[in-house]
Structure 1
């Protein structure tokens, strides 16, 4: 095989579908690949025929020019696929297996991996702990919005679906296991959501919707979702969430009080990140808004789950501080209220097997919650454009037409 269509970052606001060549079990030089990773042999890896791969809000940050991603970077870190080639050192994953790929790349050998902190593996990114496919400053591992992709450390990382036929019947749910379902769940879980909790989720994009559904699965008595986009709020209401239109209201506590009878919640989750806007009419970008708002409305002693992405380099930041990820956060408020903050990438492997079982046994309907919408790889540029306009959809790319319509 030689051809391999892939979705590529083509400059600010642009993506294109290009042939990048069939992968092998070596990390070759290319856009964004760390020079110290070039030539890295991966006989512990596999080649996947990609069955589904999803467009993520994190990809959108790069496409908007809000990171230092280089042109030509192959996008995509949410990957589900069939194993078609196995490296010499792979023992337990076999050709024909249908698998979910955690977006964190992890070796399974370092101290962090042994402590289940696979989001900060020490061996996959020469610049700093932690890595991901198709993402800026993450070591340069080639993205998976493609027909074929190489995945390293296969025995350790890959989640094999026990029954391929059953998995294909639920593939629009299972494709969310690579990132947004574990990420949303991690946000709710790390915020301390439990039976009876009242929860505020900032952001009704796919991760926010996944966090809201996860809070329901964890037993929350009320889940409130806030956003500036009425269409996305309608999607949140479609599976039982209360909502607040933040384009119309600038006092979050007052709106929560109208719903709960008090202006505070037990737990809060930030699913917006560094491109946050202020609240109310005439809102504009104000990156610390969400973090300050959730401190304000979370009860004393509460926990804040923060799966929303924050970066150390943002060329489009609103001021010089924002461009290096320095935000004006009311940390004294969080300290005074004895809040617990949980940040960083989600360690997918802590959650994906349990969430898979919830999907396969009909307990979780994540595809419905995030409005999973199937597109071809050639439609990916339009999917990015629609997502950037605020479409209340989670776009799932089907590179080979494998998914039954």
Structure 2
């Protein structure tokens, strides 16, 4: 494959201050070179167990947006993107089962497959890929410095363990807008609903009608929920939730969530709730940010013994927070209330591999309609900065980047 490494590779690069640009980032190799956010111990790490992918689709994620807004310690020059679907164009010496030409979904968590956590399917807290803490992802702050995939080509380590191969390429291209959601957003939404204990007949409240909230709402339906209620401040996003059968509450207009739920269900509580907002939350009917507002609200409206799935992102450092404690990730959560109601909390990154194969089957059978639920919209790589700007304004869309025009 010597000749291929001369190929160009453009990618989406974080420039600080709410800005991203599309730059030449160099063709990937089967080694992690020094660069923005790469810990010293990871520099020069050999990846003969990895592959080079030609990126077919790569999505913009809400957690990318937190970085781009300057709400993390992400360094300038970071190549973004952890939602990657692609075709294998080169395999490392140690790759045994994945072949050139395979079309694959990449779980956003980077995982070695060898440590005690990976052996327990807890791939979101792999111990070997990030010297700074358990867990890793592509193109993300504090996640080991692995280069992101909002680009034309990307290197993926531990390919045999991690990659989900699609059984049929032609069928995969027909369903690509659904399958592109398997890297992160669909498993993450599903994890939110599943870990909250949603089952046949459950009533569910989902906080946030961004893409993950919409994915959680659709997942709750797939799990058999009887009613799914979605709350948000943006009317257009709520209409998107209504388009596939959800009830909605506009939190801009109503600050008493329990009362709104009672109007829908006849009781002011739900069986289970999902926080798909995270740390940049706003208070209901109050101005300014209140990072614990959603957590406190879902404890309020979830019945005793209920579950709270929390796929919304919370960070250890938020330099942009208005509150000193929130800058260190300390929030004013009414934990006593959750304790008194014997709530179950499930937090953290989603172990995407735990869910992605089953969700792929649901997509291929036509059972899951995730692209429709999240309103997938295809853009080119050069349109990525515009996509980020629209998404930042609350556009009710999930932007899917098509770097090579493969979807035309």
Look up the match of 1:342. 346
Q: Distance in 2 between matches of 1:295 and 1:361?
A: 36
Show CA shifts across 1:208-238 (max 9, x none). 0000000000000000000001010010000
The answer as to 2:13 corresponding to 1:15 is no
What 5-or-longer segments of structure 2 have no aligned partner?
1-5
Look up the match of 1:391. 395
Residue 269 of structure 1 aligns to a residue whose secondary structure is strand
Residue 324 of structure 2 aligns to a residue whose secondary structure is coil
Q: Distance in 2 between matches of 1:35 and 1:79?
A: 26
Look up the match of 1:233. 238
Q: Distance in 2 between matches of 1:13 and 1:117?
A: 33
Show CA shifts across 1:221-270 (max 9, x none). 00000000101001000000000000111110000000000000000000
Residue 351 of structure 1 aligns to a residue whose secondary structure is helix
Look up the match of 2:291. 287
Question: TM-score, length-normalised on structure 1?
Answer: 0.99
* 1:2 CA displacement: 3.1
RMSD: 0.5
Match of 2:111 among 85, 106, 128: 106
The answer as to 2:227 corresponding to 1:196 is no
Show CA shifts across 1:126-174 (max 9, x none). 0000000000000000000000000000000000000000000000000
Aligned length: 403
* 1:403 CA displacement: 0.7
* 1:334 CA displacement: 0.3
- Correspondences of 1:334-373 after superposition (within 5 Å): 334-373=338-377
Look up the match of 1:125. 130
Q: Distance in 2 between matches of 1:10 and 1:318?
A: 23
The answer as to 2:247 corresponding to 1:242 is yes
The answer as to 2:159 corresponding to 1:185 is no
Look up the match of 1:310. 314
Q: Distance in 2 between matches of 1:305 and 1:48?
A: 33
Alignment check: 8 A CA contact 1:232 1:392 kept: yes
Q: Distance in 1 between matches of 2:40 and 2:385?
A: 29
Show CA shifts across 1:186-208 (max 9, x none). 00000000000000000000000
Alignment check: 8 A CA contact 1:42 1:152 kept: yes
What 5-or-longer segments of structure 1 have no aligned partner?
none
Residue 49 of structure 1 aligns to a residue whose secondary structure is strand
